[in-house]
Amino acid sequence: MAKNSVYKFEKKNIQGGAGRLIIGTDITKRPTSISDVMDPNTYELVGGYRDLGATTDGISQSRGFDTSDVEIDQSTTPISTTISSWTNTISTTLMESTIENRQLAFIGGTIEETPAAYGAGVALASTVVKGATSVNVADGASFANVKFVKIGDEIVQVASISGSVIKLKKPLEKSYTTSDKAAPVTKLGTKTISYGSPANIPSYQLVLISQKDDGTLLMVVYYEVKSSGDSSEMSYNKEKRQIPIGFTVYAQDDLPEDENVFKEIEEVL
């Protein structure tokens, strides 16, 4: 706290920084600690939650209420005010244009997945270290003209093929030995989703986690949210695609009225 000054403040309480937006499908969960959502040591999410990923222009929380005045004949001014309604909203712009995020923002149907198809696997001719951008295979004949190759459990785009040497467009994420195989991808897998005009909007649980300047965490749990009816626009142009998204937060009828919308859990030193 500033000393010997008319202005008193605590610098440690002035916080900033980005947030991590997380969504869950089970609105019956009522987390009571950060570890119910995320491992505080590894930062990995527990089952049932997924990240919405990168955002831009921040994550905005809005909370407000409308009031009604109580008036009587015996007074020219209201004698009391009551709250007639509450509004709670969350909004942001998603930068990761995954099919799951588009499903959420545009109220899509079920995502159907079809696995990739592969040709016969060929043994690696030598060990491959993590980060490598080329591999040697025992026989490169079956890889002519392929655009993608599966190495171990990774599918990587092919840059060029010369004999038994396959050059890749991005580094491998793992190391491999001669007991592993490479296989030509004859057909990539697909994800399919349809969009229509459903009458009902799915409910989700929304979690916002931020890290304070002292390294501690703040988690906000919104018990039930639904995508708002505001138009979501995604442009196909030279810029990176963005998905504006907004959520309306709903009260839970089985909780006390002063605790039924969202909860904050803050670590303290």
Tens digit of each residue's pLDDT (9 = 90 or more) over 74-107: 898 988 888 888 889 999 999 999 999 999 999 9
- Give the integer Cα–Cα distance in Å for 180 and 158: 18
Could you read off the pLDDT of 99-146 as tens digits, one per residue? 999 999 999 999 999 999 999 999 999 999 999 999 999 888 889 889
User: What is the reported pLDDT for 68?
Assistant: 87
Tell me what pLDDT residue 15 has.
83
Sign of CA dihedral 70, 73, 74, 75: positive
Mean pLDDT, range 224-248, rounded to an integer: 88
Tokens describing residue 210: 């931020």
CA separation for the pair 136, 152 (Å, rounded): 13
What share of the chain in percent tops pLDDT 70?
A: 99
Residue 3's pLDDT is 67
Query: How much is the pLDDT for 2?
Result: 59
Q: Give the pLDDT score at 1.
A: 60
Lowest mean pLDDT among 23-32, 45-54, 76-85, 148-157: 76-85
How far is it, in rounded angstroms, from Cα 80 to Cα 71? 7
- Whether the per-residue pLDDT at 21 is higher than 70: the answer is yes
Length in residues, the chain? 269
What average pLDDT does range 166-185 have in this prediction?
94
Is pLDDT of 58 > 80? yes
**Nearest in space to 209 (alpha carbons), one of 263, 269, 248, 260:** 263
Confidence (pTM): 0.83
Asked if residue 235 has pLDDT above 90, the reply is no
Looking at the predicted structure, is the pLDDT value of residue 241 above 80?
Answer: yes
What average pLDDT score do residues 163-184 get? 94
